[in-house]
Amino acid sequence: MTETEKIIEISFHGRGGQTAITASQLLAEMAYEKGFADAIAIPIIGAERRGAPIMAFTKVSKHKIIRTYDSVKNPDFMIIFDTSLLEMPRIKETIKEGVTILADSPIPINRDGLPNNIRIFIVDATGICIKRGFMHSSGPILNIPMLGAFGKVTGYYDLETIEKVLKKVFGESKIAKNMAVARDAFEEVKEVK
């Protein structure tokens, strides 16, 4: 099955307050904006509190309607907002052969115990947010830089698509700051060999 025929599954792993759930919803919007046939965001919302591990999922399809609404068990992509979560067994066990990981990290992540046939990309989203003052009361707002980096890694959407969606969702007044962090991450993401 080619990528155009399959449903692409993305898992988001972060901590409460890091905006991973919003990122999963924005990713679905960006896929629609870019002409994907279908996209759904599946947040896992419970009694999360700031700092507690959280998960969210997005499924996108270039040519077919998505008919499954369950959580993602075998992601094609994992977007990691906090690399300490990679040590959690329930997250580590979903890292299978062929997965692509995008992590918020200024340094390469440790590959020990991970399958050989995976791709790892890093972007210092936290550093970008701090540099640009893209913060809220509990810390950096990581969703926009992580989605900027994801667009570059996958080629599923570009900066223009990000800007259109962010204008629609957040309005014109916040677009300059949002696009500054998206652009930085888009340009700075790199693959770890």
Average confidence (pLDDT) per 10 residues, the chain, 193 residues: 76 87 95 95 71 86 87 90 88 89 94 90 97 90 97 97 95 92 98 91
Please report which residue ranges of the chain form alpha helices under DSSP H: 20-33, 89-92, 125-132, 143-154, 159-170, 175-188
The per-residue pLDDT for 107 is 94
Domain boundaries, the chain: 7-192
For residues 93 and 73, is the Cβ–Cβ distance under 8 A? no
User: The domain 7-192: what is its CATH number?
Assistant: 3.40.920.10
- Residue owning tokens 């989605």: 147
For residue 101, give the H/E element and its range: strand 100-104
Residues 6+ apart with CB under 8 A from 32: 39
The per-residue pLDDT for 79 is 97
The per-residue pLDDT for 114 is 87
- pLDDT, one tens digit per residue, over 24-67 is 999 999 999 999 999 999 887 665 566 678 889 999 999 999 98
